[in-house]
Amino acid sequence: MLLGPALSISALLFSIGVLGVLIRRNAIVLFMCIELMLNAVNLTFVALAQYHGVGGQLMVFFVMAVAAAEAAVGLAIILAVFRHTTSVDLKTNTLLQG
């Protein structure tokens, strides 16, 4: 039942997320691309849950909880960085490059 199509759409979404993380410099857009990759993995879990039982759906539930916590903390970090450097562009935030 739509296992192949679901897995291929999930593969496409994941690679688009990879592309976004590598191609953008805006920290917030980068974060959104990470969310996109998490969503792609969630689609895989739901597609395989059709055969494995309800465990796959519960894993999606946990992924969403972790994504919510990650978004809250990550956006707070971006806010703190913005207050220091007045920019969320990763080109200007190169303190760790030494």
Partner 1 sequence: MADTIFMALGAIAVLSALFCVFQRSALAAAIWLVVTMLALAGMYLILGAPFIAAIQVLVYTGAIMVLFIFVIMLLNLGQGASDIRGPGAKAVALVLAVATGTYLLRLAGYDPARLAFELTGTTDLSPATVFATAEAARQAAEAQGVVGAVAAPLFTTYLVPFEVTSLLLLAGIIGAIVLAKKRI
Least distance to partner 1 from the beta carbon of 40, Å?
9
From residue 51, how far is each of 20, 62, 65 by CA, in Å?
32, 19, 24
Helix (H) or strand (E) holding 14: helix 3-23
Closer by beta carbon to partner 1, 1 or else 96: 1
Interatomic CA distance for residues 73 and 92, integer angstroms: 21
x/- map, 35-64, partner 1, by CB under 8 A: xx--x--xxx-xx-xxxxxxx-xx-xxx-x
By CB under 8 A, is residue 85 in contact with partner 1? no
How many residues can be counted in the chain? 98
94, amino acid identity: T
The contact set with partner 1 (CB under 8 A) reads 1-20, 22-26, 28-29, 31-33, 35-36, 39, 42-44, 46-47, 49-55, 57-58, 60-62, 64-73, 75-80, 82, 88-89
